[in-house]
Every structure is written in C-alpha cells, then in structure tokens.
Structure 1
Amino acid sequence: MPHARKFVSVAAVSGLLLMSGCSDPKTGDATSAAPTAPTSARLPANGAPAVTNPILNTTQAESDPCSTVATAQIEELGGKVEKTEVDDGTFGKSCGWIFEAGPSSVTAGLLPGNKEGLSSLYAKHAQGGLSTFKPIDSIEGYPGVIYDNGGEGKGRCVLAVGVRDDLTYTVTPLLATGNPMLSDPCGLATKVAAAAIKKLKGA
C-alpha cells in the first residue's frame, strides 16, 4: 500500500511519548502508582494551563473520529483525499485522511486513554523528555502544545489541544512533496484542530 509509511495513528505517536514518562527520571525504573486524588480534582498540574470552557460531550467524537472534521474541510487545507482510515489505538481512536498527492496524511483524534490531558506533556517536558515543546495560548479558546521527542522532520508536526483538563485532541500531519502545506505542517494541524473544536463545541 503506497501510503502506509505516511499514516501514523495519533494514539501511537502520543502513547510512545507519554508511556515513556512512567519511569523514574533519575533511575529509569518503573514507578508504582501511589494513591492519589481523582484526576479531575488535581488537574491541571505541572504548570499546564486550565481549560476554562471544557467540552463535556465527546462520546460521538471518541467513537467516530472521522466525523469530527469533514473530509471536505481537510481537502480545503491539504488537497484531495484518497481515503480515510480509523485506527483503534490504546489511548483512543484516530482518523487518518490519506491524500492523493503523497505519500501524505493527517491524523487526528481524542485521547481518552490519557487521563492527564495537557498536564502529562508539561510533566514530560519538565523531565527533559521532549525535544520540542511549544505551548500555544489559544486555538478557538483552548490551550495547546506542539511537541515531539526526536521525530521532528520536514512535513511533520504533533499538536495536542486541551479540550478538558483530562482530555486532548491531537493532530499529526505527515506531509510529503506535492502537498500544499508541506512547509507549514503545524499550520495545517492548527486549522484541523480549530475545525474539530468548533464541531465539538456544537455537539
């Protein structure tokens, strides 16, 4: 399949980075979880911004990630879409829009399996575990972070937007020559996230 190498699920990218934060930063040993307050009571944490207008109704988007942003909207941003694919990852389902001019794609979805939201990325950054960490004040009124851990490259961006203190919507473009947004993958990610948030707020 010619586009396979350019389709990476959001859950796979985010899970790789976040799961690596489960070890002690000094020893590298796995740490056991101590009793804590419920997640909602202790978030945000680690310096992450609070989500002041949380989106509560996300059930449809979690179960059907391709319904959150219309294919026509994706095509307006990145060109003709050949097909869509749904990946059912550990942290949540993501939708992949595979462009005809490729191999290029953009994947996006909510990550309900990560109960720490943006706070997990701020913690990872504090541990020195991210090679890219760029907070964004507002995408349609919601805070975000552009991040990565050694996977940076032309046409690639990973963006997480906090839709609740305990939930993020993550977008990952992987673009190749011929895609109109090749030089600005984070711009594409931001526009996809903005469209998703508008849809989620109206759900």
Structure 2
Amino acid sequence: MPIRKAAALLPLAALSVLFAGCSGKGATPTSTPSVSPQPPTASKVNEHAVPQALETKSFEAAPCSAPSPEQVAGLGAPLKSATPRTDPEGPGCSIRFATDNPNSVVGTIFTSDHSGMSGLYEKQQQGGFTDFKPFTVSGYPGAVFANVSTSDPAHCSLAVGLRDDLTYSVSVSLDSATTPLGDPCALGKKVAGFVVEYLKKAQN
C-alpha cells in the first residue's frame, strides 16, 4: 500500500474502533469506572476568632466611656483627662494620667480596617514585626506587637479582637520605664480588658 493511502486510512481506522466499542461489535466494551462525588471544600478556619462578636456602635460614639476614672486610678495614677479623638483609623480616646511626667494611653477602635486579629497575624508572618506576643484578655484574643522603629521599654502597642473584623488598639507611652504605672504592656492589657468587659456588659 502506498504511504499516502495508508496515512489516509488511519483516521478511519481510529473511528472504527470507537464505533465498535459503542455498538458492542468488534472490540469488547470497557466499563466506565464510577466516580464518587467529592465533599465540598471546607472553609478556612479562623484561628483567631473571638468567642462572641461585640457590638461597638455606642462605644464608637463615646470612645472614652471605658475605662472609667476609677479603673484608670487603679492602674497606678489618677486620671487627669480623657479626650475623645477622631483618627483616620477610627474613633478613639486619649487618656492622660495626673503625674509629674507625661504618661498617656491612647485607645482606638480600628473601624478603618476589617482584617481583625487575622490581619495582624498575617503581617507578623510576613515579617512586619520584630516582636509579637499573643495574649488573651477576658477570653478575647490579642497581641503585643512592635517593630524596630517603635521598640522602646517605655512604650507598648497592642490590639485585642472585638469582632473577627474589628480590633481595639492600645498605645501606651510612659515618661520612663520606672514610673509608678509600671510595665507599659501590662498596663495596656488591663486597659484592653476594661474595654472588653465594658462592651460585654453593654450587649445585654
């Protein structure tokens, strides 16, 4: 058989095999293996979820509602002033202590960011912080964080999750590490705890 004629017959030969399989003549039909349906892919679990989402609308309108003057005094020095502030990140409160040297705490409801605590963990995994220490306050996840530019023994920055898409940040700035207010991070955690407890009670 000439080569050109043989090549022309190849597609027909291939088709004949297919038809033979369909009709049951010629080639022995092969059974189609059954395919079990795959279970739906499970959604990614939020490892830093809050135990209960906290409503913050009233707190956003009055961000100095917590901590109370009595709670501030219990931190080691009386309250000098609590001033509401509006920052690009969200509503907040600047707390100043009645001490000889300037000592303050700024709390901010981060309404501009909706990544919650997961966003902080993601930034930490990307090398965004030189210091990152998780903690829990009143059952809610938080973390102390710092980078080279903000690392100072008299300062501390931390955040606690209020909802999976909302955090409350606390920035503590003391005149020195030996003030009567003690460790700035321990103080910041107490402030975060006061806010969480205030919001938990406000849900009822």
TM-score, length of structure 2 as denominator length: 0.71
- Map of 1:35 onto structure 2: none
Is there any run of 5+ residues in structure 1 with no aligned partner, and where?
1-40
CA RMSD, 1 decimal:
1.8
Alignment of 1:10-49 (within 5 A): 44=46, 48-49=47-48
- Map of 1:9 onto structure 2: none
Cα deviation digits, residues 50-102 of structure 1 (max 9, x gap): 112221x2101112110121122112103022222222111111111111212
Residue 113 (structure 1) shift:
1.1
Residue 108 (structure 1) shift:
1.0
Residue 42 (structure 1) shift:
7.2
> Partner of 2:49: helix, strand, or coil?
coil
44, 66, 69: which one aligns with 1:68:
66
* Distance in structure 1 (CA, Å) of the matches to 2:45 and 2:156: 26
Contact 2:89 2:108 in 1 (8 A): no
- Map of 2:124 onto structure 1: 125
- Map of 1:155 onto structure 2: 154
64, 72, 79: which one aligns with 1:81:
79
Contact 2:170 2:192 in 1 (8 A): yes
TM-score, length of structure 1 as denominator length: 0.72
Pair member with larger Rg:
2
Alignment length (residue pairs): 157
The change in CA–CA distance for 1:42 and 1:64 in structure 2 (over 3 A counts) is: farther
- Map of 2:56 onto structure 1: 58
Q: Using the aligned pairs only, state the percent identity.
A: 36
Contact 1:43 1:165 in 2 (8 A): no
Contact 1:79 1:179 in 2 (8 A): no
Is there any run of 5+ residues in structure 2 with no aligned partner, and where?
1-42
- Map of 2:12 onto structure 1: none
